[in-house]
Amino acid sequence: MIRQVLYPTPDEWPALTQRPVQQLAAIEPAIQAIFERVKAEGDAGLRALTEKFDGVLLNNFWVTENEITAATGFVAPELQIAIQKAAQNIKAFHEQQREPSRRIETVNGVTCWRKSVPIDKVGLYIPGGSAPLFSTLLMLGIPAQLAGCRNIILCTPPAKDGSVHPAILYTAGLLGITKIVKVGGAQAVAALAFGTESIPAVHKIFGPGNQYVTVAKQLVGKLGVAIDMPAGPSEVLVMADATANPAFVAADLLSQAEHGPDSQVVLLSESVDFVTQVEAELEVQLKVLPRREVAQKALNNSLGVVLPSVDQMLAFSDLYAPEHLILAVENYEQVAEKVTNAGSVFLGNYSSESFGDYASGTNHTLPTNGFARAYSGVSLDSFVKKITFQEISAAGLQQLGKTVETMAAAEGLDAHKNAVSIRLKQLESL
């Protein structure tokens, strides 16, 4: 079921923490061809690509107001209530991330401050199809609006009848997002990056997708269009001791495994018996999952690692740097304080990773593939730029001028020095 590794030494850990290699470079030529067609042909190119990949010929890419309004009738009332509750929690959590601008006088007459300014144009990519990720629209749309982004363009692929999944439209309507484009895949990334006659280019692109969307985002990132973060298959690492519930742990592993065959799940435990109990639970729970074949493939590439202590488990986890980390251990609060590399952490036996995916309030757009060593998940900060300001008064010029002159001269940048010297001389003449 999952590969067991018993008491590996720290020298063996780096090999165990390697993710399966993604052969994405092979599809770059296809993505480049899509980019060139969209740049050259604009809307006509998009129309042809949408017909080719989505099986529908669209006269108009934009979702109408009537379509957004009508979507409510196709979303079950209990789902509407669930989406509303999740939206409230996500908004409450992200609102607290605002940073006030604070002025600091570093020396007398020298005042510095930093201000958060919203990114003017952002593009949100939301996958559709059999698993429309309306939850991701909440995770991206809410902080974009809280940040004050003036232009939010939502791209999502159409069904073969030209419609967009009603749950996505309902969520967009709830958030007040009205600029919705029926375009998916790499061609949607191209439209957002380069613009067409009808679709404006944006400054930053957010959202998950298949390998074509992932590579397309990586390529536009090299062309000067910002993206949220490097993306890869979903992953979870569970640290479990004798206080953990094997059925809970198995359920958490499966909830991640069902994302896709390239998802990775890792179980760390102090006990071989516990890993065996979890494997038995996996067998039982897997049988009733509609996506069991997908989950099974993911489990085949996953690990159950037995280590002698919680401290060693934590060290292994920090090396792995998981997207999601579940601490099903007795002293989880103390252990959580020591975590240095993780996208999002879930504490205790009742904190299923599913809560973070949907409704607890934290953002589920998180770094994968070890990028949690250096990247954060999406937050309010992702939708703003931090601009610094400084004001130098006459007193500040006199206080700090000599310091700048000396440093500029030492670097051989005489024009830098002169820009200060000319001002000091003018002050001296007064």
Residues marked active site are found at: 323-324
Please state the residue numbers annotated as binding site for Zn(2+).
256, 259, 357, 416
**CA distances to 82, 138, 170, 171, 179 from 77, in Å:** 9, 18, 11, 13, 24
CB burial of residue 291 (10 Å; 0-12, 13-18, 19+): middle
Helices and strands counted in the chain (H then E): 17, 14
Give the alpha-carbon dihedral of 89, 93, 94, 95, to 10 degrees.
100
Q: Which residue has the tokens 């698993």?
A: 131
Q: And the tokens for 354?
A: 């599913």
* Ranges of H-type helices in 42-184: 43-54, 65-71, 77-95, 134-147, 166-175
Per the annotation, binding residues are 125, 187, 210, 234, 256, 259, 324, 357, 411, 416
d(CA 178, CA 164) in angstroms, rounded, equals 13
- For residue 365, the SS3 value is coil
Q: How far apart are CA 361 and CA 355, in angstroms?
A: 8
Residue 225 to residues 3, 123, 129, 203, 228: CA-CA distances in angstroms? 40, 11, 26, 6, 10
Q: How many CB atoms lie within 10 A of CB 204?
A: 21
Q: How many CB atoms lie within 10 A of CB 286?
A: 20
Measured distance CA(202)–CA(194) in Å, rounded: 8
- Binding site for substrate: which residues? 234, 256, 259, 324, 357, 411, 416
- How far, in whole angstroms, is CA 7 from its chain's centroid? 33
**How far are the Cα atoms of 41, 234, 348 from residue 36, in angstroms, in the given order?**
8, 30, 50
The structure tokens 């990773």 sit at 353
**At residue 227, what are phi and psi to the nearest 5 degrees?**
-125, 165
Length of the chain: 430
CB 129 within 8 A of CB 81: no
3-state helix, strand, coil in the chain (%, to 5): 50, 15, 35
